[in-house]
Amino acid sequence: MSAVLHPATDHRRRLLDAMAHAVAGKGYAAVTIADLAAEARVSKRSFYEHFADKADCLIALYEAASRQSLDVLRKAIDQRRDWHAQCEQALAAYFGTLACNPPLLRTLFIEIFALGPAGLAARRRSSQHFADFIVEVVGPGLAMAQAVAIVGGIHEWVLQAVESDRVAELPQYVAPAARLIRAVVDHSA
């Protein structure tokens, strides 16, 4: 039996989906609240019941997508394996998931910067969650600053793939990213 969504929860989800679709289609700057409400099939009043403005909606989308990505990473690893294998499993799941939705990836990796400091703060919070995950998998021997550097390097590869329309190639980054993580961890030991 599937769970029944509360109408407010359903409206919020539809508005987040609308934000992803609209921004991918015409860029954040051109999207209006009316566009989002129409796409989500809700009133503008419903939009404002969930979000203060369109920036708030984009940040909510970014954070929801980041949480989902982190969930994918957590589910992809086999706790019985060593951290090397767990990193490769997580990287394969991460890059594979990202490669499946190029328009959303563009929204999350490029359009978030249109929000200035608020977008940067959301990106930093997300990066910190990913760095925490890396430390959790690798162990306490890895300094947080090193985990943040790993996340930054991986995200730069993703950003380059998005900018050059090579998102489909992201799964090919698994081996280089695993080597990067091993090099940083081995250097810290």
Q: Domain segments of the chain: what residues?
A: 58-188
What pLDDT, in 10s, does the model give residues 96-148? 999 998 988 988 999 999 999 999 999 999 999 999 999 998 888 889 999 99
What pLDDT, in 10s, does the model give residues 51-70? 999 999 999 999 999 999 99
For the chain, the average pLDDT equals 91
What is the pTM for the complete model shown?
Answer: 0.88
Q: According to the CATH classification, is domain 58-188 in 1.10.4100?
A: no
Q: What is the per-residue DSSP string for the chain?
A: -PPPPPHHHHHHHHHHHHHHHHHHHH-GGG--HHHHHHHHT--HHHHHHH-SSHHHHHHHHHHHHHHHHHHHHHHH--TTS-HHHHHHHHHHHHHHHHHT-HHHHHHHHTGGGGGTHHHHHHHHHHHHHHHHHHHHHH-TTS-HHHHHHHHHHHHHHHHHHHHTT-GGGGGGGHHHHHHHHHHHHHHH-
pLDDT band with cut points at 50, 70 and 90 for residue 7: low
Q: Is the pLDDT of residue 29 over 90?
A: yes
